[in-house]
Amino acid sequence: MAKQKTKFVCQECGYESHKWMGRCPGCQEWNTLVEEFEAPSPKKGTRNHTWSGTTTVSFPEPITSVTSTKEERIDTTLPEFNRVLGGGIVPGSLVLVGGDPGIGKSTLLLQISSLLANQGNKVLYISGEESVKQTKLRADRLGVSAEKLYVFAETNMELIEKAIDQVAPTLVIIDSIQTVHDPNITSAPGSVAQVRESTALLMKYAKTRNIAIFVVGHVTKQGAIAGPKLLEHMVDSVLYFEGERHHTYRILRAVKNRFGSTNEIGIFEMREKGLAEVKNPSEIFLEDRTEGSSGSIVVASLEGTRPVLVEVQALIAPSSYANPRRTATGIDHNRIALLMAVLEKRIGMLLQNQDAYLNVAGGVKLDEPAIDLGLAICIASSYRNHTTYPGDVVIGEVGLTGEVRRVSRIEERIQEAAKLGFKRAIVPAKNVEGWKPPEEMEVIGVSTLEEALDYALIDSSSAWYR
């Protein structure tokens, strides 16, 4: 009998080695190499192009002769979820859903399962972490009940395949991929080999049976999907469920989507009966805003095709440390350092001995350059202790020379601001031309950061402030 070979595999990046090492050469992480049994390689001459038992032969062909068809999509009747996926669930797709523990991944997928089952679609919910009775208790709490929603507690991939063949569902939920295992692989569940092989089998089930499969993935302390990046490369779409534990709002974001855009987000609110859609997120994010205080301004960000108005806040205070602190929540830390350098060099503000704390209200994460002007005005407002007019919305990108640069889709941003009752918008001068703003909105075009500060900041001696 041939001796079984072993190898050491990094559980973070998938790097393989024939000997153990304390530090992985691939990802530079410590104590991540785990011993696994090496699967036997197939004999020579046995490789063929088989897919679900059927031999297929394909040849290269010109792209002009390939007929393109529009993907059929399953409507979940949940517009926020459909938006993130690009219009609905594509049959035969494999979708990975990640997020922090307790954020609401299982709750969302159980609600989606109920909505599809109520439309007459068979849905198979496979839980590797909960028993059938535990899943039933959660379903009762959420008010989920449908005859065509099947629940199965199993982690063996062979038994899962039999269950899929028996039920013949439209949608399969695997909760979670780190708990299932292939009995032909000797590694423990959750290891790199098991996650890779289980995902490959699920991809085969999805493509050959034309079934949509959603897989829940655990995340690491850094917020990334646990396991090697190969897992994200294998699936068709990767969705991240984000949110602060102390906030009720959750954001579903696509970071990979072969059937739609990756710029769309869906916003939900966690309630007693589960997750509910937030149809007007701008109004929700601004409902607790305090008027008449320094260091606060509203910016119009663009998330995919949707303009979202959020409040950004800044607190600038003298530092008692040799190296002042720069803390940012929901904003790129490097962008804050860049804007403070521009304010110090071009405007003359002495910020090198000041601590800076910036925050995006509501737990939203903003990463587009159009919020630069609002952040700069926030920092200047707190530093000078000058308030900003509560009816202002600010849009614009700031360059290193202090210029305010053009942004995209200015009309939609202004329309959203006018809908929420804002009276004035400070925008790049280049964006003012070629369109007509709403009658109730005053649009001011600025070319430099200094000009924007003159319009936005209100001195305490002004009539409005008194």
Binding residues for ATP: 99-106
Question: Which residue do the tokens 């602060």 mark?
Answer: 244
Contact 279, 366 (CB under 8 A): no
- In sequence order, what E strands does 361-439 have? 387-388, 392-394, 397-398, 404-405, 424-428
Give the DSSP H/E element, type plus range, for residue 167. Answer: helix 157-167
User: Which residue type sits at 210?
Assistant: N
CA 28 to chain centre: 26
The per-residue DSSP string of 63-105 comes to GGGSPP-PPP-B--S-HHHHHHHTSSBPTT-EEEEEE-TTSSH
Neighbours of 258 (CB within 10 A): 14
Burial (CB < 10 A; 0-12, 13-18, 19+), residue 459, is: exposed
What lies within 8 Å, CB to CB, of 206 at 6+ separation is 92, 93, 94, 212, 213
Helices (H), 251-322: 281-285
Binding site feature residues: 99-106
Question: Which residue do the tokens 């205080």 mark?
Answer: 293
Q: What is the CA radius of gyration of the chain?
A: 27
Question: Which residue do the tokens 């649009």 mark?
Answer: 443
Helix-helix angle 132-142:105-118, to 10 degrees? 80
How many Å apart are CA 83 and CA 347, to the nearest integer? Answer: 42
**Which residues, listed in sequence order, are joined to residue 446 by a DSSP beta bridge?**
428
